[in-house]
Protein backbone atom coordinates (compact mmCIF):
# COMPACT_ATOMS: atom_id res chain seq x y z
CA UNK A 1 0.00 0.00 0.00
CA UNK A 2 1.36 3.39 -0.88
CA UNK A 3 1.67 5.93 1.89
CA UNK A 4 -1.06 8.56 2.12
CA UNK A 5 -0.32 12.04 0.75
CA UNK A 6 0.97 14.83 2.98
CA UNK A 7 -0.39 18.33 2.50
CA UNK A 8 1.55 21.52 3.06
CA UNK A 9 0.34 25.09 3.26
CA UNK A 10 2.52 27.46 1.20
CA UNK A 11 2.82 30.99 2.66
CA UNK A 12 4.82 31.07 5.92
CA UNK A 13 4.94 27.27 5.99
CA UNK A 14 7.16 26.40 3.00
CA UNK A 15 8.10 29.93 1.96
CA UNK A 16 8.59 33.24 3.74
CA UNK A 17 6.49 35.53 1.59
CA UNK A 18 5.76 38.10 4.29
CA UNK A 19 7.91 40.88 2.81
CA UNK A 20 6.43 40.37 -0.66
CA UNK A 21 2.89 40.35 0.75
CA UNK A 22 3.44 43.43 2.93
CA UNK A 23 5.18 45.25 0.10
CA UNK A 24 2.29 44.47 -2.21
CA UNK A 25 -0.31 45.77 0.27
CA UNK A 26 1.82 48.93 0.70
CA UNK A 27 1.79 49.25 -3.08
CA UNK A 28 -2.00 48.93 -3.19
CA UNK A 29 -2.31 51.59 -0.47
CA UNK A 30 0.02 53.94 -2.34
CA UNK A 31 -1.74 53.44 -5.68
CA UNK A 32 -5.28 53.82 -4.34
CA UNK A 33 -4.78 56.28 -1.46
CA UNK A 34 -6.62 53.87 0.84
CA UNK A 35 -4.73 53.35 4.12
CA UNK A 36 -4.00 49.67 4.88
CA UNK A 37 -2.71 48.81 8.36
CA UNK A 38 0.13 46.26 8.01
CA UNK A 39 -0.54 44.90 11.53
CA UNK A 40 -4.10 44.07 10.52
CA UNK A 41 -2.90 42.26 7.40
CA UNK A 42 -0.22 40.44 9.39
CA UNK A 43 -2.73 39.24 11.99
CA UNK A 44 -4.71 37.45 9.28
CA UNK A 45 -1.90 36.17 7.01
CA UNK A 46 -3.07 33.05 5.23
CA UNK A 47 -6.60 34.10 4.25
CA UNK A 48 -7.59 34.65 0.63
CA UNK A 49 -6.45 37.88 -0.96
CA UNK A 50 -9.97 39.05 -1.79
CA UNK A 51 -11.05 38.42 1.80
CA UNK A 52 -8.18 40.53 3.15
CA UNK A 53 -8.85 43.34 0.68
CA UNK A 54 -12.51 43.32 1.76
CA UNK A 55 -11.30 44.65 5.14
CA UNK A 56 -10.06 47.79 3.38
CA UNK A 57 -12.22 48.28 0.29
CA UNK A 58 -15.95 48.28 -0.39
CA UNK A 59 -17.03 45.14 -2.23
CA UNK A 60 -17.24 46.79 -5.66
CA UNK A 61 -13.63 47.95 -5.42
CA UNK A 62 -12.16 44.61 -4.36
CA UNK A 63 -11.67 43.17 -7.89
CA UNK A 64 -9.68 46.25 -8.94
CA UNK A 65 -7.62 46.08 -5.76
CA UNK A 66 -6.91 42.39 -6.45
CA UNK A 67 -5.53 43.34 -9.88
CA UNK A 68 -3.39 46.10 -8.42
CA UNK A 69 -2.10 43.79 -5.70
CA UNK A 70 -1.15 41.10 -8.19
CA UNK A 71 0.85 43.55 -10.30
CA UNK A 72 2.90 44.40 -7.23
CA UNK A 73 3.13 40.79 -6.08
CA UNK A 74 4.37 39.50 -9.42
CA UNK A 75 7.13 42.13 -9.27
CA UNK A 76 8.08 41.63 -5.62
CA UNK A 77 7.65 37.88 -5.22
CA UNK A 78 10.95 36.87 -6.86
CA UNK A 79 13.28 39.25 -5.03
CA UNK A 80 11.51 39.13 -1.65
CA UNK A 81 10.52 35.46 -1.19
CA UNK A 82 12.77 32.99 0.63
CA UNK A 83 12.52 29.27 1.36
CA UNK A 84 11.81 28.57 5.03
CA UNK A 85 14.27 26.33 6.93
CA UNK A 86 13.65 22.64 6.34
CA UNK A 87 11.06 23.09 3.57
CA UNK A 88 13.07 21.24 0.94
CA UNK A 89 13.95 18.45 3.36
CA UNK A 90 10.32 18.11 4.50
CA UNK A 91 9.08 17.59 0.94
CA UNK A 92 11.93 15.16 0.32
CA UNK A 93 11.10 13.15 3.47
CA UNK A 94 7.52 12.65 2.26
CA UNK A 95 8.69 11.49 -1.17
CA UNK A 96 11.30 9.20 0.36
CA UNK A 97 8.41 7.45 2.12
CA UNK A 98 6.72 6.87 -1.24
CA UNK A 99 4.01 9.49 -0.59
CA UNK A 100 2.99 12.56 -2.57
CA UNK A 101 3.83 16.00 -1.17
CA UNK A 102 0.96 18.30 -2.15
CA UNK A 103 0.60 22.03 -1.63
CA UNK A 104 -2.81 23.34 -0.56
CA UNK A 105 -2.97 27.13 -0.39
CA UNK A 106 -5.23 30.17 -0.45
CA UNK A 107 -2.87 31.72 -3.01
CA UNK A 108 -3.98 32.05 -6.63
CA UNK A 109 -2.54 29.44 -8.99
CA UNK A 110 -0.37 31.92 -10.91
CA UNK A 111 1.29 33.38 -7.82
CA UNK A 112 1.51 29.99 -6.09
CA UNK A 113 3.35 28.46 -9.07
CA UNK A 114 5.58 31.52 -9.38
CA UNK A 115 6.43 31.28 -5.66
CA UNK A 116 7.20 27.55 -5.80
CA UNK A 117 9.31 27.88 -8.94
CA UNK A 118 11.13 30.92 -7.57
CA UNK A 119 11.92 29.06 -4.37
CA UNK A 120 13.04 25.96 -6.28
CA UNK A 121 10.40 23.83 -4.53
CA UNK A 122 8.49 21.06 -6.29
CA UNK A 123 4.96 20.06 -5.33
CA UNK A 124 3.61 16.74 -6.62
CA UNK A 125 0.26 18.48 -6.90
CA UNK A 126 -1.00 22.01 -6.24
CA UNK A 127 -4.45 22.96 -4.95
CA UNK A 128 -4.65 26.76 -5.10
CA UNK A 129 -7.35 29.23 -4.07
CA UNK A 130 -8.63 27.33 -1.02
CA UNK A 131 -8.88 28.35 2.62
CA UNK A 132 -10.38 27.01 5.85
CA UNK A 133 -13.09 24.39 5.24
CA UNK A 134 -12.16 24.30 1.54
CA UNK A 135 -8.73 23.02 2.57
CA UNK A 136 -10.45 20.36 4.68
CA UNK A 137 -12.42 19.23 1.62
CA UNK A 138 -9.23 18.87 -0.42
CA UNK A 139 -7.50 16.96 2.39
CA UNK A 140 -10.48 14.64 2.74
CA UNK A 141 -10.65 13.98 -1.00
CA UNK A 142 -6.93 13.16 -1.03
CA UNK A 143 -7.12 10.97 2.07
CA UNK A 144 -4.20 12.99 3.38
CA UNK A 145 -2.38 11.60 6.40
CA UNK A 146 -0.96 14.93 7.55
CA UNK A 147 -1.48 18.64 6.96
CA UNK A 148 1.22 21.12 7.85
CA UNK A 149 0.40 24.81 8.21
CA UNK A 150 1.07 27.99 10.14
CA UNK A 151 -2.45 29.20 10.97
CA UNK A 152 -5.28 28.16 13.30
CA UNK A 153 -7.47 27.74 10.19
CA UNK A 154 -4.94 25.26 8.81
CA UNK A 155 -5.08 23.22 12.01
CA UNK A 156 -8.89 23.27 12.01
CA UNK A 157 -8.90 22.08 8.39
CA UNK A 158 -6.61 19.16 9.27
CA UNK A 159 -8.79 18.19 12.23
CA UNK A 160 -11.93 18.37 10.12
CA UNK A 161 -10.34 16.11 7.50
CA UNK A 162 -9.06 13.60 10.05
CA UNK A 163 -5.45 14.36 9.11
CA UNK A 164 -2.63 14.69 11.62
CA UNK A 165 -2.36 18.44 12.28
CA UNK A 166 1.19 19.75 12.36
CA UNK A 167 1.68 23.44 13.10
CA UNK A 168 4.76 25.54 12.41
CA UNK A 169 5.35 28.86 14.17
CA UNK A 170 7.13 30.45 11.21
CA UNK A 171 4.04 32.57 10.45
CA UNK A 172 2.02 34.98 12.56
CA UNK A 173 0.80 32.49 15.16
CA UNK A 174 2.20 30.96 18.36
CA UNK A 175 2.26 27.36 19.50
CA UNK A 176 -0.57 28.21 21.91
CA UNK A 177 -2.69 29.55 19.03
CA UNK A 178 -2.06 26.44 16.96
CA UNK A 179 -2.60 23.96 19.79
CA UNK A 180 -5.87 25.69 20.69
CA UNK A 181 -7.00 25.18 17.09
CA UNK A 182 -6.33 21.45 17.30
CA UNK A 183 -2.67 20.98 16.35
CA UNK A 184 -1.37 17.54 17.28
CA UNK A 185 2.18 18.84 17.24
CA UNK A 186 3.81 22.23 16.78
CA UNK A 187 7.28 22.74 15.36
CA UNK A 188 9.44 25.88 15.45
CA UNK A 189 10.12 25.27 11.75
CA UNK A 190 9.99 22.53 9.14
CA UNK A 191 13.55 21.64 10.10
CA UNK A 192 11.95 19.33 12.67
CA UNK A 193 9.53 17.77 10.22
CA UNK A 194 11.51 14.76 8.90
CA UNK A 195 12.00 13.34 12.42
CA UNK A 196 8.35 13.95 13.32
CA UNK A 197 7.15 12.41 10.04
CA UNK A 198 9.34 9.35 10.58
CA UNK A 199 7.72 8.83 13.98
CA UNK A 200 4.27 9.07 12.42
CA UNK A 201 5.02 6.61 9.64
CA UNK A 202 6.44 4.09 12.14
CA UNK A 203 3.40 4.32 14.42
CA UNK A 204 0.78 3.97 11.68
Residues in the site for Mg ion, rule: CB under 5 A? 9, 11-12, 46, 150
DSSP strand pairing (82-83 vs 185-187): unpaired
Of the two residues 150 and 177, which places its CB atom closer to Mg ion in the complex? 150
DSSP string, 154-183: HHHHHHHHT-EEEEETTSS--HHHHHHTT-
- The rounded distance, in Å, linking the Cα atoms of 102 and 90 is 11
Nearer to Mg ion, 68 or 115 (CB): 115
Whole-angstrom distance, CA of residue 38 vs CA of residue 170: 18
Complex with Mg ion: residue 46 or 167, whichever CB lies closer: 46
Q: How far is the CB of 160 from Mg ion (least distance, A)?
A: 17
Q: What residues contact 33, with CB distance under 8 A and at least 6 apart?
A: none
Work out how close the CB of 9 gets to Mg ion at its nearest, in angstroms, rounded to a whole number.
4
The CB-of-45 to Mg ion minimum distance in angstroms stands at 6
Nearer to Mg ion, 48 or 201 (CB): 48
Nearest distance from C-beta of residue 7 to Mg ion, angstroms: 12
Amino acid sequence: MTAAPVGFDLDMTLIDSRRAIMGSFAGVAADTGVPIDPAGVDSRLGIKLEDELAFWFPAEQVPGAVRTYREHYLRLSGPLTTVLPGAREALAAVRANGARAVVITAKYEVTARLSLDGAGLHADELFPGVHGPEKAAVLTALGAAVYVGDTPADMAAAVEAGAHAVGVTTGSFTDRDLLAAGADQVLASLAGFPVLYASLTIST
